[in-house]
Each structure stands twice: as structure tokens, then as C-alpha cells.
Amino acid sequence: MKLKSTRGMAPESNFIDAIFKGLAPDGGLYHPVEIKSLKSTFARLSADSSFIDVAKAVALPWLSDEWDEAAIDRIVKRAFSFEPALRKIDDNTSLLELFHGPSSAFKDFGACFLASCMEEALSCQQRRALILVATSGDTGSAVAQAFHNKHNIDVVILYPSGRVSLLQEKQLTTLGGNVHALEVGGSFDDCQRMVKEAFQKKDLADALQQASAISLTSANSISIGRLLPQSFYYVYAYAKLKDEIDGDLVVCVPSGNFGNLTAGVYAWTWGLSVKEFIAATNVNDVVPEYLKTELYSPRASVQTLSNAMDVGNPSNFERLQAIFENDARKMAEIIKGEVVTDSQTRETMAALYKSSGVFVDPHTAVGLCAAARYLGKDGRKKDHVVVLSTAHPAKFLEIVEETTGAQPEIPANIQKALKLPKQSVKVPNTLEALEEFLRNTFCIKQACI
């Protein structure tokens, strides 16, 4: 898989190098050099295809330059002990539940695949990696669960003390082993700054390499290694529904940083039969505004119920612009923006529970509201909209209970995490504190002086 930077000022990279680099050297995001047609692959898949079948079928054409078929089979099977679930809401709408993984959120698909790829690469190269991640909640949970007990990999996750939910903190801090949680006395911005400064400190990287053959890397959500596997579930939904629906398939994506939508658009460029995508946002509507006005105006985010989508400058928008060659009109032909308020989000959650007894989290509710609005327009009555359901409603228990008057069932993995003791190290919000922890934990003392 040959990859280039969205900014066009860096050398091309293969997939393995790109997943350890994260960003391209020019600060751009890695993006496929060529568009491959996978139409024949998609045609062979059916409603009987498992998610593993779909993942292997899509991954093989992209990764066969890096690994043989047996290795790709190992990577996929290690990554996915879980799969999406389709839930029909009505004749025109289905939910694709993406919360059946270890952290109960869609980010499990990307994080688990990236972890499996890194483990495979490191075992072949006989080296180790140390992953540094700053989190405000769900990203850290997914990364912690995905990389726990992976060979040749340690993970250090920085999170702001007192600023994540109890469940998010428990999912970060109860694993132990190769997952190290640092509870930072400061904000999420402080955590991000500390990680960035650590990557820029060459003597620290050199000390880790010399002492323990450890390379510093990240598992950020902009990684191409997390984006590629997100395309798998679009193909899975298509395979399950293609012989069942009479009209066209439309996919509605609750969107914040726009990585999830970008993965779907990649699948579309490879030949997946999707009529249109709905970019469903809360009032942080930078991209829907761009689709209407052709002007991109990043701004400070506004706090909403669907907090994971409170993004004023989406990091993956750069990839969407690369796909459509910076042509807003081309993008608007396939992506339709819909903006949903908090009151509309609550109304959707309450109405769905009242009509069908189904609970959804606020992000999924944004998608359902946008889908209903889309289907209400002329010429769309035969379309079938698949709404990506991005998180288990139990992860937003307070909002769900307030809105519906009832409590969803709490999954076993969440119940288990809530009962386990917290294991974290409290540190001040300084690079020096992070560096001291890394040197003391991962270096042979003499080599790190």
C-alpha cells in the first residue's frame, strides 16, 4: 500500500512505516496514492459473509505488499473478536451498532486493527514500541483495551485528572500490565502538549532506543492504520443489505473529526455502491457549512450533549479535501450535511425509546434525526439509510436516563471495569514529569543518564 501526504511535500511511504510515523514528515496525513477498484470483491460478499470474511477481503488488496495472506489472516483474526450488528428500525432505516467491542465504542475497530498490525510488524522486525497517547476519554479507552497484552508494545496514556467520566477512567486505569495510565494535574490540552513535547525531545527517544530498543510512536485517531479498518464495516453493511433493500443505500455518519466518514468515502471510491453519505453534526457545523457555501471556516467548538463531536476544526477534513481535489461541489454531490441541535437530539432519543424500546446514545441520536430529515425530502422514499451507532447507550447513562426515564442494560465489560481497582500514577502537567516516568519505567538507568 503506497501512501502519500495530503500536503504533497513528503516522500511516499508504505503502510507499516506510516502506522509507526502517524503524521507524514510535512505534517500532512497519509492517504492512498492510487484508487483500486474492489467492485469484484464487493460483489462476491453476501449476507452470509462474516465480519472476518469482509475484513480479510478488503485488507488483502491493500496490505499484500507488506504481508503475505497468512499474516493478514492473523492480523484480522487477532483484531476482531467482535463484529457490528445491524438493527432494523423501520422499512427505511437501520442502525449499524459499532459498540460491541472491548470499550463499547466504534473506535475499537480502528484501535484493535492498528494494535494487531503493529504487533505483527514488531514481531517480524524484532523491536519494541512505546505508544504515547493523550486522551479526553474514549480514544484512550479504546487504545488501552486494544493494546493490552500486545507483545513488544507498551502504552502510556495521559488523561486530565477529574475531567473524564468514571467509566472512561476505569477503562483506562484498570488493565495494568503493559498499559500505564498517567493522571495529569491539568487539562486535556496539557496532556496533548506533554506528548507533543516528548516526541520532539530527541535525547529521550535516543535513550529509550539505546536502553531497551524502544521506538516512540503514537496511536492517534488520524493514523491510516485506524482509518482503513473503519472502511470494513461499511462493506459489511452493504453485504448484509444489498439483496434485501429495493432502493439505494445511504449511510448516515455522526461526525466530529470526520475520520469515520472519510473511511466510508474511501470505500465508495473503491466501488462500494452507496448513493450518498449524510454528514450528521451537532451545532459544530463547519463541514455542513462548507458543503453549502464552499467556504471552510474553522472555529472554537461549542459544548453539546454529543460531546465527542464537539470539533471546530476536524482533523480528517484534510483527507476529504484530498479525495475530492479541494472541489467543494464534487464533495457536496456525494456528502450531504445535516445539523442537529441538542433539543432535537433529546427528542429523537425519547421518541425512539417510546416507539420501539430502543436506547441510543446522543451521537447516534444525531445520526437518526439527520436520517429522518434526509428521508423526508423528495425522491428519497425508497432509499434505505444505515445510521452508524457509535457508542453503547450505557456509556452515556445519565443523559439516556434523563431523556427516556429508563436505564439501558449495562454490558458485562462495562460492569467489570467499574468494579476493578484503579491503577494510575499522578503526575504534574510538565514535560519533566513525563520524561522522568518514561526514563524510570523503560530505561536501563545507566543508559539514560
Rg of the chain in Å (alpha carbons): 21
Helix, strand, coil in percent for the chain, rounding step 5: 50, 15, 35
Question: What whole-number distance in Å separates Cα of residue 311 and Cα of residue 317?
Answer: 11
- Could you give the CA distance from residue 376 to residue 250 in angstroms, rounded to a whole number? 14
- What type of residue is 277? F
Q: Which residues contact 350 (CB under 8 A, 6 or more apart)?
A: 403, 404
Q: Of 4, 56, 107, 395, which is the active-site residue?
A: 107
Identify whether the C-beta of residue 443 lies closer than 8 Å to the C-beta of residue 207.
yes
Assigned C-alpha cell, 163: 475531567
Q: Does 292 participate in catalysis according to the annotation?
A: no
Tell me the CB-side half-sphere exposure of residue 437, using CA atoms within 13 A.
Answer: 24
Q: Give the other-Cβ count within 10 Å of 271's Cβ.
A: 15
CB 286 within 8 A of CB 341: no
What distance in Å separates the CA atoms of residue 156 and residue 137, rounded to the nearest whole number?
14
- Residue 202 CB contacts under 8 Å (≥ 6 apart), including other chains: none
Question: What is the rounded CA–CA span in Å between residue 187 and residue 200?
Answer: 20
Residue whose C-alpha cell is 447516534: 364
Q: Which residues are catalytic?
A: 107
